[in-house]
Structure 1
Amino acid sequence: MITVAGSAILPGTVKSMTLWEEQPPFIIDAKNPGKFFDPHWNKGIGAGRANDASRPVWGDQLTIAAKICGFKYARFTGIFHDDMNVYNGGSYNWTLVDDLLDKTLKAGVKPFIAFSFFPKDIAGSDATVFSWKARVVPPTDFTKWNDLVTEFTKHIVGKYGEDEVSKWYFEAWNEPDLRTFWEGTKSQYFTLYKTTVTAMKAVTPKCKVGGPATSGLSGDTQGAWLDEFLGYCKQEQLAVDFVTTHPYPADSAGKPRELGATAKDLAALRNTVSRNFPQAEIFVTKWSTSPVASDAVRDDLPAAAFIVKENVDSIGLVTGMFYGSFIDGPEELKDTFHGGQGLMNASGIAKPAFHAYRMLNALGEELLYNKDGIVVTRHKDSKKITAVLYNIPATVTSGVSGRDQAGVNSLRSQGDTKLYSFKIQNIHPDARFNVDCLTKEDGNAIVQWTKAGSPDPLTRDQVEIMKQVGMSVNGEQVLSSATGVLYIEKNLAPWDVVLVDELPK
């Protein structure tokens, strides 16, 4: 229950003023100085491989994600992969690249391009990885790579203009510390970075180039990569406009780390970058519950509460942190729900994680309160108030990954319902608030799909029904008092997430 001040009946106030005085709700003053922050959760979103844009639903679903969740950039790998047909024996073809970039811009976001993989005629061997045959063996001579990057840069500047391209980001490779993505030495990667940044800056000095997009921060291998990369760039006087890495809250097998691991990683990352390139932006260009391809919790409610907590606790530590993808990829398992990396499944059915980013996007830019599952913000210009509440059970001390669906069901049932009781004062009088409740039954498509017998594949009509189910949360509207006070008294079941958002007058 969320009630208007003056008509609220709070626990202990009905019969005893003494008990009221002993157990008052705590007060958040909307006129208190807030901590200004630049939201990092809506800076960008993963968009899979470049060739995924050829899917009919790709552009439409990216548009939906950008509009509702506020994403400003879409990151994709594989722009030079063979399936993009960009390079053949020294000749260049930008047809599919243009289509990708046009669809991205049409969706209302800007490109965040991770340069990869090697075209067949540039790669150092015929060896490939993955079913889609990525070439990750670097050449012994980077001359052809230099020419490819140069011609690509000339093309996009010529088509889209230097001012527009200067707003894009260009990331040198993806996770070169893993042999899965880079079957070369660390020194060879440094050469690739030097070649890439030098080639691009020669065409347009205003472009933003960075890296190294390593797979994490914990552990000697990843940490050494980042330190050595920054040291190398400093020694060679190479530009590093932004630094990227992928610090997952779970290990490579999906075993969760401690709750709050993301903020600890980002604090360490920020210190490392500040020592070397203090002006560089910092991006986590791939993040999720875990790095594994299929993680059942990503389809279910606990992921949403986890996403909210890890993000709000990382305020001020990073420029942007991109969730794995806005939509499940075509190379993933074909089941309707399989723990894929998207905020939506392959058919565009929203998961609870989608709502987590929708709710985060609604928050203001001034933080008034963030503790014990209560986040209260004020919008800088309008001064309206937006809050998010979430209930992660006290017994949960680690991340939420590493479980099959039965394990996720068990996780969802852990913990107790929790009462959130407080008041916000000095807000706009008679202000109207939308209250959206994300619960096990509301906005959690996989639960409703399971109740329906887990039909797979879905018919076209079933897909449309499930899209509506995925987007449907339990909503209501409430008013503040004439004196500008709002009591909030709400019971949240384990893993519930609630958005309280003041509407404009």
Structure 2
Amino acid sequence: MRTLTLLLLLIAQSLFAQQDSVVIHVNTNTSKGPMKPIWAWFGYDEPNYTYMKDGKKLLTEIAKLSKVPVYVRVHSLLVTGDGTAALKWGSTNAYTEDANGNPVYNWTIIDKIFDTYIERGMKPIAQIGFMPQALSSKPEPYRHYWKPGDNYNDIYTGWAYPPTDYKKFATLVYEWVKHSIARYGKTEVESWYWELWNEPDISYWKGTPEEYIKLYDYVADAVKRALPTAKIGGPEVTGPQGRNSTKFFKTFLDHIVNGKNHVTGKKGAPLDVITFHAKGSPKLVNGIVQMNMGTQLRDIDKGFEIVASYPSLKHLPIIIGESDPEGCAACSEEFSPQNAYRNGTMYSSYTAAAFARKYDLADERKVNLAGAVTWAFEFEDQPWFAGFRDLATNGVDKPVLNIFRMFGMMQGNRVAVSGKLSYDHKRIKESSVRGDSADINALAAKDKNSATVMVWNYHDNNSPAPATLVLVKISGLPAAALLQHYRVDQEYSNSYEAWKKMGSPKQPDAAQITALEKAGQLQLLQAPEWIKTKNGETVVRILLPRQGVSFLKFTW
């Protein structure tokens, strides 16, 4: 079947040869800066999925994506409860009080979560939140039972409120850091990031901006007392384009630079990393999913602009703490039909195109982008391909995870990509990817003994369209190199299409699951081949389907 498909592709290439094609030039001798692994950052709402069967399996795969450590960010690490996992919920019972109001610390569940990361060589972004019930200024109601289709605001319960006692909360943080050092060692904990809360500019924080800043001062002081070399940051605001988010973000950074510290009484507060979120905004238009990458890029660019406006802070690493096509990972396709992009290749091509532009935006603003967290993991024991924003379903990888496998092979420095291309980061930021032309472009890198090129054919509208002939002209290669051509499209590296061809079984049998697991892995489009270059140049012809991604890896 694959041989026949390849033959048809070759025939199609010859038919397209006289028609319009896209030419992409890759100059591996022109460096654009280091190929930072900004993609090697992941996060999710439900911390208790971490150590469950499919959670451990997926974390193992994510950890293997990169030669560098992968960072993981999760919510609810200080929430009171018995550790039962549920959508948009998690708990660790790290802090309770006895009958006399004395603190009782229990690190058992947090240790299970962090042990799972450390065993795989991963690094936590240790999120300090949310509020334990015994410290909440409004403790009831506390536990929520939200499910897809419910009002999203139902999730904001007693865990979202400021503490009754800031010193008690600070002591909790101090004890947590000290416990982490005792369990994992000072050097290991120094490599983590610590942060306060999530999206305090909306209902995740039921206090005022000033109360958040006060809590930050207490928390930062506690972290630094426990470990002076620890890295602490914030404020993880939602998209900085929003007026309230911009105001909150600037108010926080103003305090860091010039405010009076609530603990020390001195000017300013420690800040080692700056965080904010950036999301797109898909919708359903005439029955077709239409993405909006421009919205996400404007969020990112506004955040970079704000950071760059603070001379004393602009050198600090930036983590886009959630960087996704839209905002609710736990909202399913059933109740949110605009989320139908999540199972197939639209999510994967969007991811390839969007991450490439994050590098461009950081270069343009001259800021230090360290990472962009993909807020997607897995949802334990849910229906197959239910349309959650996840990387795997029931232990089977979705197409999008293969884009991260491609990124994991990109080492060394980013190199120049040029051509008469319809889109760049500026045009997408202004108007997204609409109109007749698709975003056909590439991201490329070169290391000592390899060069890699990721090529995508993306459009915001998930409408059928003919494949496009793409000519990738690469210069700066040695006289001979081994070419491996990987592909994510409707047929390759696509468990979702394989599942549909099976008849979309609600309960796949063992043989079907094995086949789906195989289909979910990154696959070669054709057998590896040695190519000879002329003056260090070669041309690779690719017939690239809409929403498809090709990955060319040259080694020598």
TM-score (norm 1): 0.85
Counterpart for residue 89 of structure 2: none
Equivalent positions of 1:37-116 (< 5 A) are 37-68=34-65, 72-83=70-81, 84-89=92-97, 90-116=103-129
Tell whether 2:286 aligns with 1:288: no
Query: Do the aligned partners of 1:37 and 1:366 also contact (CA within 8 Å) in 2?
Result: yes
Q: How far is 1:275 from its partner?
A: 2.4
Counterpart for residue 271 of structure 2: 240
Tell whether 2:217 aligns with 1:165: no
Q: How far is 1:360 from its partner?
A: 2.2
Deviates more, 1:203-212 or 1:247-256: 247-256
2:409 is matched by which residue type in structure 1? Answer: A
Counterpart for residue 378 of structure 1: 445
Counterpart Cα distance in 1 of 2:79 and 2:340:
29
Tell whether 2:346 aligns with 1:302: yes
Tell whether 2:481 aligns with 1:481: no
Distance 1:272 1:253, change over 3 A: farther
Distance 1:79 1:34, change over 3 A: same
Counterpart for residue 212 of structure 1: 235
Counterpart Cα distance in 2 of 1:79 and 1:43:
21
Query: Do the aligned partners of 1:479 and 1:486 also contact (CA within 8 Å) in 2?
Result: no
Aligned match for 2:248, one of 225, 229, 233: 225
Q: How far is 1:258 from its partner?
A: 4.1
Query: Do the aligned partners of 2:201 and 2:245 also contact (CA within 8 Å) in 1?
Result: yes
Counterpart Cα distance in 2 of 1:67 and 1:42:
13
Counterpart Cα distance in 2 of 1:143 and 1:24:
61
2:544 is matched by which residue type in structure 1? Answer: L
Q: How far is 1:91 from its partner?
A: 1.4
Tell whether 2:244 aligns with 1:178: no
Q: How far is 1:302 from its partner?
A: 0.8
Counterpart for residue 455 of structure 2: 389
Deviates more, 1:433-442 or 1:287-296: 287-296
Query: Do the aligned partners of 1:247 and 1:265 also contact (CA within 8 Å) in 2?
Result: yes
Query: Do the aligned partners of 2:160 and 2:205 also contact (CA within 8 Å) in 1?
Result: yes
Query: Do the aligned partners of 2:55 and 2:378 also contact (CA within 8 Å) in 1?
Result: no
Aligned match for 2:501, one of 423, 437, 451: 451
Q: How far is 1:146 from its partner?
A: 1.0
Counterpart Cα distance in 1 of 2:192 and 2:63:
16
Q: How far is 1:115 from its partner?
A: 1.4
Query: Do the aligned partners of 1:40 and 1:321 also contact (CA within 8 Å) in 2?
Result: no
Counterpart Cα distance in 2 of 1:337 and 1:174:
28
Equivalent positions of 1:119-268 (< 5 A) are 119-126=132-139, 127-128=141-142, 130-131=144-145, 135-179=159-203, 181-234=204-257, 235-236=259-260, 237-250=268-281, 258-268=292-302
1:223-249: CA deviations, max 9, x gaps?
111111111222231011111111101
Query: Do the aligned partners of 2:22 and 2:470 also contact (CA within 8 Å) in 1?
Result: no
Distance 1:187 1:252, change over 3 A: farther
Q: How far is 1:378 from its partner?
A: 3.3
Aligned length: 470
Counterpart for residue 154 of structure 2: none
Q: How far is 1:12 from its partner?
A: 11
1:350-387: CA deviations, max 9, x gaps?
111111211222223222216553325232433x2111
Aligned match for 1:425, one of 468, 475, 497: 475
Deviates more, 1:52-61 or 1:217-226: 52-61
1:384-416: CA deviations, max 9, x gaps?
2111111124xx4xxx6xxxxxxxxxx2x4333
Distance 1:24 1:56, change over 3 A: closer
1:303 is matched by which residue type in structure 2? Answer: Y
Q: Which runs of 5+ in 2 are unaligned?
A: 7-12, 82-91, 98-102, 147-156, 261-267, 333-338, 363-368, 422-438
SS at match of 1:135: helix
Aligned residues: CA RMSD:
3.1
SS at match of 2:134: coil
Deviates more, 1:80-89 or 1:195-204: 80-89
Query: Do the aligned partners of 2:22 and 2:468 also contact (CA within 8 Å) in 1?
Result: no
Deviates more, 1:484-493 or 1:220-229: 484-493
Query: Do the aligned partners of 2:343 and 2:385 also contact (CA within 8 Å) in 1?
Result: yes
1:322 is matched by which residue type in structure 2? Answer: V
Q: How far is 1:161 from its partner?
A: 2.1
Counterpart for residue 417 of structure 2: 369
Query: Do the aligned partners of 2:487 and 2:522 also contact (CA within 8 Å) in 1?
Result: no
1:161-194: CA deviations, max 9, x gaps?
2221111011100111221x22222222112211
2:346 is matched by which residue type in structure 1? Answer: P
SS at match of 2:396: coil
Deviates more, 1:223-232 or 1:480-489: 480-489
Q: How far is 1:62 from its partner?
A: 0.4
SS at match of 2:400: helix
Counterpart for residue 425 of structure 2: none
TM-score (norm 2): 0.78
Q: How far is 1:148 from its partner?
A: 0.4
Query: Do the aligned partners of 1:46 and 1:76 also contact (CA within 8 Å) in 2?
Result: yes
Aligned match for 2:488, one of 438, 445, 449: 438
Counterpart Cα distance in 2 of 1:193 and 1:488:
53
2:182 is matched by which residue type in structure 1? Answer: G
Counterpart Cα distance in 1 of 2:306 and 2:340:
33
Counterpart for residue 405 of structure 1: none
Q: How far is 1:310 from its partner?
A: 0.8
Distance 1:73 1:128, change over 3 A: same
Query: Do the aligned partners of 1:391 and 1:494 also contact (CA within 8 Å) in 2?
Result: yes
Counterpart for residue 404 of structure 1: none
Q: How far is 1:210 from its partner?
A: 0.8
Counterpart for residue 403 of structure 1: none
Query: Do the aligned partners of 2:278 and 2:324 also contact (CA within 8 Å) in 1?
Result: no
SS at match of 2:322: strand
Query: Do the aligned partners of 2:40 and 2:66 also contact (CA within 8 Å) in 1?
Result: no
Counterpart Cα distance in 2 of 1:91 and 1:113:
20
Tell whether 2:314 aligns with 1:278: yes
1:456 is matched by which residue type in structure 2? Answer: K
Query: Do the aligned partners of 1:104 and 1:111 also contact (CA within 8 Å) in 2?
Result: yes
Q: How far is 1:48 from its partner?
A: 3.7
Counterpart Cα distance in 1 of 2:201 and 2:159:
15
Counterpart Cα distance in 2 of 1:363 and 1:257:
26
Deviates more, 1:441-450 or 1:163-172: 441-450
SS at match of 1:193: helix
SS at match of 2:65: helix
Distance 1:258 1:207, change over 3 A: same
Deviates more, 1:302-311 or 1:225-234: 225-234
Distance 1:35 1:467, change over 3 A: same
Distance 1:192 1:257, change over 3 A: farther
Counterpart for residue 408 of structure 1: none
Distance 1:49 1:67, change over 3 A: same
